[in-house]
Each structure stands twice: as C-alpha cells, then as structure tokens.
A and B are shown apart, each in its own frame.
Chain A
Amino acid sequence: MTTHRQPRLAARREALYAWAFVAPSLIGFLVFFAVPSVRGLLMSFTNWDLLRPAKFVGVANYVRLFGDADFRHALKVTAYYVLMNIPIQTTLALGIALMMDKFSKSTIIRGILVLPWLLPNIVVALIWLWLLDPTMGFLNQIIMALGFQRQPFLGSIDQAMPTIAAINIWRHAGYTAILLYAGLQTIPKEIYEAASIDGANERQMFFGITIPLLRPVLVFVLVTTIIGSFQIFDTIAITTKGGPVDATRVVYWYIYEYAFVRFKMGYATTISVALFVILITITFIQMRYFNANSSDLD
C-alpha cells in the first residue's frame, strides 16, 4: 500500500473544519459540565448562603461533614435502600429475562415490560402513593380481604424505605430484564449444545455458561443501577419527602434540603462532592472485583 503525505494545507483545513464541528459541544461541555464541576468543588470550601458574599473557610465544611450525624444517617438510609433495591431488582430481572428467552420473543411483551421505565419517576410515585394509601388504597383492600391488617406502607417509619425500594423495583425490573435479555441473545447457542452433549445439566449450564458470559452486561447493569440508586430523589420528593421523621432522608434529599430549602450552598456542595467520591470509589471497586473489561467469550 502506497502512502503519500497529505498536503499540509489539506490537513490544516481538515483540522479547522473539525474544530468548527466540535465547537458547539465544546462550549456546552465547558459551560455546563467542566466549569460547574470545578465551581462546585470550590464552593465546597466556602460558606456561601446566597445572601452574603462567599467566604473561604478552608476544609471547615469537610470537617463538619465528618462529624455530621445527620449525614451518617443519610448514608445509612441510602445504603439500606440500595441493598434492598439492587439485589432483588437484578435477580428478578434475570428471572424475567430467562423466562422471556424461554417463552416469548415478542416485541409486545418487551414493550409491556419496559412500560414502567418509560413513566417519569413522578408518575410512578403518584400511582403507588394512591395504590398504597393506608385507608383507601387498593392494595390494602386486597390485604384486608385476605384477612390481614391494613398496612401503613409509606406512612410508617419501618415500612417507608422498603416500600420506596419496592416501587423502584417495579419501575426498573422490566427495563433491566430486557437489557439482560439482549445480553442473553449474544451467547452462542452452540456452547449450550456442546455442553449438554458433554452431559451438563441445566443448573451446571446456568452457572457455568450463562452467568459468566453475561458478565459484561451484568456488570454494566449493576454499575449503572447502583450509581442510579444512590441518587434516588424524585420518588421520595413526591411520597415521603424524607419522612416519616427521617426514615427516608437519603443523601440526595439531604443535599436538596441544604441547597434549596436552607440555601446553604457551601455545605450542600461539600455533601455532593462527598457523594461523588463515594460513587467513584464504589464504581472502581466494582470494576476491579468483576474484572469487567474482559469477556469470557474471548
């Protein structure tokens, strides 16, 4: 293959066009992503409250954060939510994906499964707020008809967080299921046939073939759903608003309260930086643990 150097003029022109093409997104990136990130970091070192000019306070906010019992509570409540939400959601999604693979490839079924995910969190929260109403909710009617006592669900300190978790499982399980289902389609059927000829039973094939080969999709699903879970907000904003008492006062709500109710922008950004660090750490650990970059298919 013969190569010849591009005339420098053509290369220069290409670069200029390229910069023109990239310019709009570069502006968007700088103005709304890069600069705000830096600004947020800088804000976390001040005590700004929107009224008086910001004053640099060094690491005082961070020191305060370490000793903040409410923040620790928010972390605890958030972790509680994530630990309930993700395992159940993922297992359920995997089960649904396997069922779809076995029974039905229909687009209509996939469409129905994805329907809850299409709804805004707000809408999902309202629907379930009504269905779970302690006195008039349909679910309690069923429970009472079965002979049990009516449940307070979102009105109870103990039941509130698990209920929020259940609501979000309802919203996300179907969506996750079709992602996993797509992943299942990438596993060559020949592998199963070869294994069954070798005498492997279904259980062995599931844990020995399906799970390992689903790993890239599973890891992607786990990473994104965990990161998303830590930032749960909309559902709580409609239903419990951090209550009852502070049973659902998750980190994101804590940040929202400080920033947009108390207007303590300085401390609020400190909390958000802390959340960012936590998320990055968790993602890093996950990627390492699951060794996600290689696929067993290679």
Chain B
Amino acid sequence: MSRAHTRTAPTIQLPTILAWGAFALVMLVTLFPVYWVLRTALSDHKEIYVQTFVLWPVGFTLDNFKRVLGMFTAEQSVAMGGTATGINFWLYLRNSIIVSTFLVAGQTFFSAMSAYAFARLRFPGRDQLFFLYLTAMMIPGVVTLIPNFILIRDLKWLDTFQGIMAPGFLMTPFTVFFLRQFFLGINHELEEAATLDGASIPMIFWRVALPLSIPALSTLAILQFIATWNDYLWPFLVGKNEAVRVLTVALAIFQSQTPQGAPDWGGLMAGTALSLVPTLVIFLIFGRRAVNAIQFTGFR
C-alpha cells in the first residue's frame, strides 16, 4: 500500500508492530490500575498483605464492600482490620448525588438564561458585562477560595448543602460562555417566526430556544456533573460533617484513619470502587455523547 495515499496524519516512521505494541501498552497502563482497585476490593483483607503479586483477587470476599457500606458492627469492622467509627458509603454517595445534581441543574438553567440574553437580546452594557465574565474565567480558583470560604462561614452555611453548592449555583464563567457561543450559532428563523406570531421574549426562550439547545445543554451538564463530582478542596473545606460529606472528601478522611497502624486498603479500595460506579454508569449511558463532550472542551 503506497504511503502517499494514506489518509491519516503522517507519523515518524515506525514499524507497525512496534506502534501496535506501544498502543497496547498504553491501553494496559490505562486500565490496569482500575482493575487493581477491583482486585484489591474483592480480596480478603489479610491476604492483601501476604499475596502481593497475585493478579486475581485472593480470598475472594465481598466483606470489604459490606464493611464500607456500614453493614457490620463496629467490633466486626475492627476485627476485619477496619475502623471502629461508622463509615457509610451509601450516605456519601447520596450526598454526592444531591450536590452534583442540584448544582448542575441550577448552573445550567441560570447560565442558559444569561447566555441567551448575551447572544440574542440587546441591552446597554451587554458586551462589556460579557467581557467581565470572560476575565473571570481567567482567574484561578486559588484567588477566590479563601474569601469564598469566609463568606460561607459568615453566612453560617458551613456543613450545609447550600454552602457547598453556593459558589457555582447561579453561574460559572465557563458555562455562560459555552452556552452563549451555542446560542449565537443557532438558526434565527424559528425565533423570528415566533416573534411574528406575537410571542413574548420569555416564551420564545422557553418554547423555542431552550428545546433547540438540548444537545448543548446535555453536553454541558455531563461535563459539569463530572467536574462537580470530582471536586475535592472546596467540599472538604465547607462540608466535613458526615451529613453533607461527599465521596471525594469521605475517601480522603477514610484514608487518614489508620486503624492499628496500617490503612484499611481493602476497605479503601472498596470505597474507591463504589465511587467509580456512578461515573462509569453515566459514561456507559451517555457513551459517545460524553466522549464527544469531553473532546469538545478543547475547542473553547
């Protein structure tokens, strides 16, 4: 096959076998650590320390999962190498779901409203304000972290769901920017037809623009859900209490508890495995759309 007719980007010449080998290696290195989580989580907590080189779970057991889901008493937990304090991943899972779902719902809706105004409506100061939003996108989180923490503390919103969700609930610069670019690109005709029919602006937004933008909205929602689900420092600072603790914070706190000197690796990996499930589920349901959404972040 003549190289001049390959329809792919040219690479530095490599024997194909070598290239395939490298590709397989990349896949292996990517997937193995995730597999290892499962292997450890399904292994007997004592065998983990002994049989360290075996690829399959050693002493197959579901006890680690049961332990972190709070299905054993404190004494039983300690006997299995776990901590005596209650660990309940159902609770943390619930908290993560609550925070991410409401936060993303609010963010998406309010950002869509503003994005529509920036893209479609005329009002004084529109472009200057949007420019301000853009500059906010450049500000690294570290600058607003401490003042926002103080604000939440002063509002007595520490250890509450609203405290965790507050900063991003009404907008983030990225979400407004993303949706505004989208609204700029859609077809005017449907909106103009609605205007001629006498529809008011809110009606046009609600009945025409919003339905048209469902692909963009869901793309954004997926991205933001992942981002909020993975957030650590902020929920850690404002949401330590068990009632609102999210998965990332729970895992960190779990890890810092070292019963009898060594971390409860079996339990830790079980907790990790559990925290992977929702992300994987979303990924499997939304599949191609999720991958394309993530790819799209490179085109800001």
The residues of A with any CB-CB pair to B shorter than 8 Å are 11, 13-15, 17-19, 21-22, 24-29, 31-37, 39-40, 43, 95-96, 98-99, 101-104, 107, 109-123, 126-131, 136-138, 141, 145, 170, 174-175, 178-184, 187, 189, 192-193, 196-197, 202-203, 205-206, 210, 217, 220-221, 227, 230-231, 233-234, 237-238, 252, 255-256, 259-260, 265, 268-269, 272-273, 275-276, 279-280, 283
Considering the complex, give the chain A residue whose CB is closest to the CB of B282.
A118
Interfacial chain B residues near A276, Cβ < 8 Å: 139-140, 142-143
Which of the listed residues B10, B169, B173 has the most CB atoms from chain A within 10 Å of its own CB? B10
Q: Determine the distance from Cα of A83 to Cα of B154 in the docked complex, in whole angstroms.
A: 40
23 A-B contacts, Cβ less than 8 Å apart? A11-B122, A14-B123, A15-B121, A15-B124, A17-B117, A22-B114, A28-B168, A33-B139, A102-B9, A113-B26, A115-B31, A118-B283, A119-B276, A120-B229, A127-B33, A127-B272, A129-B255, A179-B295, A192-B6, A202-B3, A202-B11, A210-B10, A238-B252
Segment from B47-55, B60-68, B77-85 that makes contact with A = B47-55
Q: Is B12 an interface residue (CB 8 A)?
A: yes
Bound: A110/B295 CA distance, A: 9
Please tell me if the beta carbons of A36 and B8 are within 8 angstroms of each other in the complex.
no
CB-based contact A117/B294 at 8 Å = yes
Q: Is there contact, CB below 8 Å, between B123 and A19? A: yes
Q: Are A96 and B26 in contact (CB under 8 A)?
A: yes
Complex-state Cα separation, A70 to B51, whole angstroms: 42
Q: Does B71 contact A (CB under 8 A)?
A: no
- Asked whether B17 is an interface residue with its Cβ less than 8 Å from the other chain, the reply is no
CB of A21 within 8 A of CB of B136, answer no
> Of the 9-residue stretches B86-94, B126-134, B184-192, B212-220, which lies at the interface with chain A?
B126-134
- Which residues of B252-283 are within 8 A (CB) of A? 252, 255, 265, 268-269, 272, 275-276, 279, 283
Residues in chain B within 8 A of chain A (CB atoms) = 3-13, 19-20, 22-23, 26-27, 29-31, 33-34, 36-37, 40, 48-49, 52-53, 110-111, 113-114, 116-118, 121-124, 126, 129, 132-133, 136, 138-151, 166-171, 173, 176, 200-202, 205, 226, 229-233, 237, 247-248, 251-252, 255, 265, 268-269, 272, 275-276, 279, 283, 287-288, 290-291, 294-300
Tell me the bound Cα distance from A103 to B8 in angstroms. 9
CB neighbours (8 Å) of B23 from chain A are: 96, 99, 103-104
Secondary structure at chain B's binding surface: helix, strand, loop or mixed? Answer: helix
Let me know if A238 and B255 touch, CB within 8 A.
Answer: yes
